[in-house]
């Protein structure tokens, strides 16, 4: 009986200790709304993590499938992000330009404009400058980089590609916690392979990715967060359409909302060299958004069977 009581006390102590560690996380600045003395610039109190900013501030990078585009690739999508306390509308654009016979691709991604409404509870939890309900618009960050094909169309080895991407500090509305107003970058190594269904124009492609993601914070002693990047996906390919399912995320070291994990599915309906894209994305962890997408993709729409 005494041993059981001691075990219960020990378990309670461990739970309370872990709760204390979370509440005393050194990577989470003091709450600016309760401070009574002199305050620093509002950015010093921001929690720069995907779980505490707008949906386009630190999104999980899109999953590369191990093969560079052999044709000019253009993608434009209308996106509607929604959560309990926010709604965001934007247009996502993506361009891949093949060089060196498609062995290298130059990549560009940009959300040129977004419109958002945020309630007061969400605004306060994100430590915006006002702490009140918000309605406004902002410009997004520009992503640019390259992917290099290392292995392609091998008899038994999967396709292998290495990528490097940078994020500019062009995003605006830092005071509303929309973007970080700071740079970032990531490296990724992706693999994938397509398996045909006999001699038909159908098949299945699996792919996976691992990498490293870095972004800047406003903490004086910890100005940078480093995260492991990962993901996997499965694409069903048919002559007139394709279906893609993937899960991806990254894991930082600060545990302040920096472990986002998202699931994404999309349907592509082909018409010549273009495809109509219908998609849905769900935030599973540290990314409190769901997203509906509709768009058009020209060339490079999927693996060529």
Q: Determine the average pLDDT of the residues in 243-254.
A: 97
Instruction: Give the pLDDT of residue 304.
Output: 52
For residue range 122-180, list pLDDT tens digits in order. 999 999 999 999 999 999 999 999 999 999 988 899 999 999 999 999 999 999 999 99
Let me know if residue 283 belongs to a domain: yes
**Distances 126 to 7, 74, 87, 118 between C-alpha atoms, Å:** 39, 34, 15, 10
Q: Which residues of 148-186 are buried (b: 16+ CB within 10 A; e: fewer)?
A: ebeebeeeeebbbbebebebeeebbbbebbbbbbbebeb
Give one word for 100, left, alpha or beta, with left for phi > 0 and alpha for psi -120 to 50. Answer: left
The CATH number linked to 282 is 2.40.160.40
Cβ pair 302, 202 in contact under 8 A: no
Instruction: Give the pLDDT of residue 305.
Output: 47
Q: What is the pTM of this model?
A: 0.88
Instruction: Give the pLDDT of residue 234.
Output: 97
How many domains would you assign to the chain?
A: 1
Instruction: Give the pLDDT of residue 68.
Output: 92
Cβ pair 261, 286 in contact under 8 A: yes
Let me know if residue 60 belongs to a domain: no
Let me know if residue 303 belongs to a domain: no
For residue range 188-233, list pLDDT tens digits in order. 999 999 998 877 779 999 999 999 999 999 999 999 999 999 999 9
- Contacts of the segment 94-99: beta carbons below 8 A, 24+ positions apart: 94/62, 96/68, 96/69, 96/72, 96/300, 97/72, 97/73, 98/68, 98/69, 98/70, 98/71, 98/72
**Domain range for residue 30?**
2-55+69-298
Instruction: Give the pLDDT of residue 33.
Output: 92
- Per-residue confidence band for 36, with pLDDT thresholds at 50, 70 and 90: confident
Which token pair is 185? 């970058």
Residue-averaged pLDDT of the chain: 90
For residue range 85-121, list pLDDT tens digits in order. 999 999 999 999 999 988 999 999 999 999 999 999 9
Element holding 94 (H helix, E strand): strand 86-99
Let me know if residue 61 belongs to a domain: no
Where do runs of H (alpha helix) occur along the chain?
2-23, 120-125
Let me know if residue 155 belongs to a domain: yes
Instruction: Give the pLDDT of residue 14.
Output: 39
Give one word for 181, left, alpha or beta, with left for phi > 0 and alpha for psi -120 to 50. Answer: left
In percent, how much of the chain has pLDDT > 90? Answer: 81
Instruction: Give the pLDDT of residue 197.
Output: 85
Which token pair is 243? 């279906």
Which token pair is 186? 């990531």
Let me know if residue 242 belongs to a domain: yes
In percent, how much of the chain has pLDDT > 70? Answer: 90
Q: Determine the average pLDDT of the residues in 17-41.
A: 76
């Amino acid at each position: 009986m005494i041993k059981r009581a001691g075990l219960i006390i020990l378990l309670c102590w461990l739970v309370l200790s872990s709760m204390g560690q979370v509440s005393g996380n050194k990577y989470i600045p003091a709450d600016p709304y309760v401070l009574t003395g002199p305050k620093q610039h509002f950015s010093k109190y921001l929690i720069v993590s995907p779980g505490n900013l707008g949906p386009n501030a630190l999104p999980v990078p899109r999953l590369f499938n191990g093969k560079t585009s052999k044709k000019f690739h253009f993608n434009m999508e209308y996106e509607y992000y929604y959560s309990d306390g926010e709604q965001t509308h934007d247009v996502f654009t993506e361009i891949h330009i093949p060089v060196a016979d498609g062995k290298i691709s130059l990549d560009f991604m940009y959300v040129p404009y977004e419109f958002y409404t945020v309630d007061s509870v969400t605004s306060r939890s994100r430590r915006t400058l006002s702490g009140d309900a918000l309605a406004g618009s902002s410009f997004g960050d520009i992503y640019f980089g390259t992917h290099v094909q290392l292995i392609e169309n091998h008899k038994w080895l999967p396709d292998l590609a290495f990528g490097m991407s940078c994020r500019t500090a062009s995003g605006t509305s830092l005071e509303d916690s929309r973007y970080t107003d700071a740079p970032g970058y990531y490296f990724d190594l992706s693999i994938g392979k397509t398996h045909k269904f006999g001699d038909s124009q159908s098949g299945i492609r699996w792919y996976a990715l691992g990498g490293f993601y870095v972004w800047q914070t406003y903490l004086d002693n910890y100005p940078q967060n480093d995260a492991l990047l990962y993901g996997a996906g499965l694409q069903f390919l048919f002559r007139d359409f394709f279906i893609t399912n993937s899960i991806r995320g990254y894991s930082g070291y600060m545990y302040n909302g920096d472990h986002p994990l998202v699931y994404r599915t999309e349907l592509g309906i082909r018409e010549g060299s273009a495809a109509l894209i219908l998609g849905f994305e769900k935030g599973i962890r540290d990314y409190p958004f769901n997203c509906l997408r509709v768009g058009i993709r020209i060339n490079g729409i999927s693996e060529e069977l």
